[in-house]
C-alpha cells in the first residue's frame, strides 16, 4: 500500500529515459480494447460463480482493472500521438536490437498453450520451463533443474494451499493421473 501511495505522489517525476519512439494510436488502442473486452468477459464469468469465496477475488481484480482500462482509454483519446503513453520501444531504441523479438517470444507461449491442451498445465509447464531455461536463457543444466523444480514446487504449493486443480489436457481424458498432474 505504501509503494502505491508513493508511486502516485511521484508519478509526475517519473519520466522515460531519453527520447522514446512513439507510434500511432491505432495499435495501442486495439490492444487496450482487446484487454478491456477480455476483462469484461472475465468479470461476467466471475459474476456467474455461485460460491462467494470463489467469486470475490476475480470480481474485485477485474472491476479495478476495468476502471483502470477506462481511465487509460480516456487518456489515450485526449493526448496526442507523441505522448509517452504511446511509447513503442520495439520500433526503435534498445528493445529494437534485443536478442529475442516479440514474435519468437509469442511462439514460446503459444507452444505452452498447445502443450497444456495436450498434456495438462503442470506437465506442459514443466516441459516449458526446462526448454525455455535451457534453450532461450542458455542456463546450465543444474540451474535449469533448480529453477524448473522451484517453479513447479511453488505453483503446486500455491494450488494446494488454495485447493485448486490445474487445467487438464487431452492426456488426462485418457489416463488417470495423481494430483497435481491430473
DSSP assignments along 118-133, one per residue? HH-HHHHHHHHHHHII
Residue with cell string 487509460: 72
Q: What is the pLDDT of residue 34?
A: 95
Phi-psi region of 120 (alpha: psi -120 to 50; beta: other; left: phi over 0): left
DSSP 167: P
Report if pTM > 0.85: no
Q: What is the pLDDT of residue 82?
A: 78
Q: Report mean pLDDT in 10-residue bins for the chain, 182 residues.
A: 73 62 78 94 93 89 95 91 73 64 86 96 96 95 98 95 89 90 78
Q: What is the pLDDT of residue 39?
A: 94
DSSP 136: I
Which long-range CB contacts under 8 A does 175-182 form with residues at least 24 apart?
177/120, 180/122, 180/156, 181/120, 181/122, 181/123, 182/120
Whole-number Å distance between alpha carbons of 52 and 160: 20
Residue 172's CB: how many other CB atoms inside 10 A? 18
Whole-number Å distance between alpha carbons of 12 and 6: 11
Amino acid at each position: 500500500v505504501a509503494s502505491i501511495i508513493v508511486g502516485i505522489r511521484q508519478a509526475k517525476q517519473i519520466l522515460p529515459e531519453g527520447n522514446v519512439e512513439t507510434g500511432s494510436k491505432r495499435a495501442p488502442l486495439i490492444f487496450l480494447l482487446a484487454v478491456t473486452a477480455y476483462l469484461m468477459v472475465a468479470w461476467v464469468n466471475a459474476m456467474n460463480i455461485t460460491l462467494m469465496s470463489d467469486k470475490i477475488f476475480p470480481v474485485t481484480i477485474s472491476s479495478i482493472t476495468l476502471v483502470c482500462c477506462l481511465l487509460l482509454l480516456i487518456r489515450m483519446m485526449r493526448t496526442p500521438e507523441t505522448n509517452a503513453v504511446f511509447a513503442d520501444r520495439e520500433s526503435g531504441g534498445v528493445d529494437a536490437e534485443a536478442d529475442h523479438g516479440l514474435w519468437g517470444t509469442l511462439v514460446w507461449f503459444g507452444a505452452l498453450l498447445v502443450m497444456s491442451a495436450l498434456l495438462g498445465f503442470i506437465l506442459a509447464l514443466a516441459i516449458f520451463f526446462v526448454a525455455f531455461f535451457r534453450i532461450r536463457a542458455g542456463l546450465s543444466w543444474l540451474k535449469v533443474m533448480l529453477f524448473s523444480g522451484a517453479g513447479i514446487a511453488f505453483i503446486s504449493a500455491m494450488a494446494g494451499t488454495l485447493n485448486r486443480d490445474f487445467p487438464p489436457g487431452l492426456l488426462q481424458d485418457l489416463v488417470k493421473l495423481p494430483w497435481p498432474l491430473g
